[in-house]
Amino acid sequence: MTVSGDETRPPRPREHRLHLPPGRRSAGGLALLLFWFIVLPSIVRTAVALGTPRGWTGLVASVVGLSACTIGSWISIGWLRTTGDVPTRQIRPWLAILVISTAVCIWAMPQGVGMIVYLVLLVAFAFPWTVTAVVAIPAALFFYFTGRIWPPLSDMQGLALAVITGGAGAAAGRISAQRRHQNELLRRREQELKIADTRNEMARDLHDLLGHSLTAISVKAELAERLIDVEPDRARAELTDVRSLTRSALAEVRATVNNYREVSLAAEIARAHQMLDAAGIRHELPGAIDAVPEDLRMLFAWALREGVTNVVRHSDAQHCRVELSPTSITVTDDGRGIATVGDAARDIEEGQRTGAPASSSDSSGGNGLTGLRQRAAEAGAVVRTGPAPDGTPERPGFRLVVSRSAGVVADPAPHTRPPVRA
């Protein structure tokens, strides 16, 4: 049996199918709109007074028209609150029913002309205010001048006022619903930006924490591997340090996630001493931090962590010197200098092969230096990198300087982490 291509083609979705607006809908709003049926008793009395088929037809048309206006307005408000606009295809059937019902009411009884007010209301909810003005203003002028010219129809002047006030009120409600929707969108976007900023800050903190700790663990593990057959006791000591560093890194990660993490400059100096000793790099480290202001100690601690990590990980240096002053910290080594692109690529490959972190020390700014520059900017400081002053062409060395001019205060940037509360 042969199946034609038309038979196997999936059916197209019905784009013009009516459905309710997305999101939560309030039945209370529908009940409030039923207040518009307040005019129904007057129409019933007119139909009974006429006692003709035309009168009963007008009554049925009034009920149908009021129902279409109520349901259409309720759906329009729901679309405005959830999407900020009303799809024309969703309101067109209710508008058509109301137009036909209004025409039948006007044909059946004189009071049916009042259905035009409800037509203006539905248009004001479903369409922009310009469309409402095009419909409401001619209708109001018609009612007003008809009542002025023919005294028996003077009641129509009241309909003119109802058209203007009802149309203006519904148009204002539409504009208000659209503004609420726009404010909700802005609130959601601001929340998404805050979440993105928090994620970026968390990624920066985790990089700064794990980049140092994992580098130290890698160096000590390699040293223990070399010493395990030659000096077993020293190898066991290095492995003990590895276990201690692992626990410390885990604690720092947990503290970072819970936003209760502080970096101590004194602790970072001690860690730098251990890390450089394990790597076999001669070093000169400051012995006191009393001269450093409190608001710079955390920044200098991050700078020391990043600088020493890069010395151990990238530089192939034999000597490292750290200089500390009240306004600056300088980390200088006599290594091979700024990493080239090829060095960076090989370092990434090595990191993927060995599991060691690949913290960057190039002057263009890797992840570590980028995060350090962000922290420095928040504290009103600057980060400068370049070759060591006493370097040679073969070994130009590398120098990292984080400094802040005297008298400059930290910039209260909007993305700065708020103070931790106990």
What is the secondary structure of 212-277 as a DSSP string?
A: HHHHHHHHHHHHHHHHTTT-HHHHHHHHHHHHHHHHHHHHHHHHHHTT-----HHHHHHHHHHHHH
Residue 384, SS3 per DSSP: strand
The token pair at 400 is 């990292």
Supply the pLDDT for residue 184.
Answer: 84
pLDDT digits (tens, 9 = 90+) for 226-258: 888 888 888 888 888 888 888 777 777 766 665
Task: Give pLDDT, residue 48.
Answer: 74
Q: How far apart are CA 34 and CA 40, in angstroms?
A: 11
Domains of the chain: 23-187 (no CATH), 265-408 (3.30.565.10)
pLDDT of residue 27: 56
For Cα atoms 271, 220, 215, give the angle at the middle one, nearest 5 degrees.
65
Residues in the chain: 422
Question: Please, which contacts does 8-15 make with residues 24 or more away whose CB atoms are closer than 8 Å?
Answer: 15/89
Dihedral of the alpha carbons of 299, 303, 309, 311, in degrees to the nearest 10: -170
pLDDT digits (tens, 9 = 90+) for 82-135: 888 888 888 888 889 989 988 888 888 877 788 888 888 889 888 888 888 888
Q: What is the pLDDT of residue 241?
A: 84
Q: Is 394 helix (H, G, I), strand (E, B) or coil?
A: coil
In sequence order, what are the residues at sequence separation of 6 or more whose Cβ sits closer than 8 angstroms to the Cβ of residue 206? 253, 256
State the Cα–Cα distance between residues 208 and 157, nearest whole angstrom: 76
What confidence tens digit (pLDDT) does each residue in 164-177 have? 888 888 888 888 88
Check if the beta carbon of residue 403 is closer than 8 Å to that of residue 327. Answer: yes
Query: Is residue 413's pLDDT more than 50?
Result: no
Summarised one tens digit per residue, pLDDT across range 289-347 is: 888 888 888 899 989 988 998 898 888 889 999 999 999 999 999 988 765 333 443 44
β-pairing verdict for 382-386 and 319-324:
unpaired
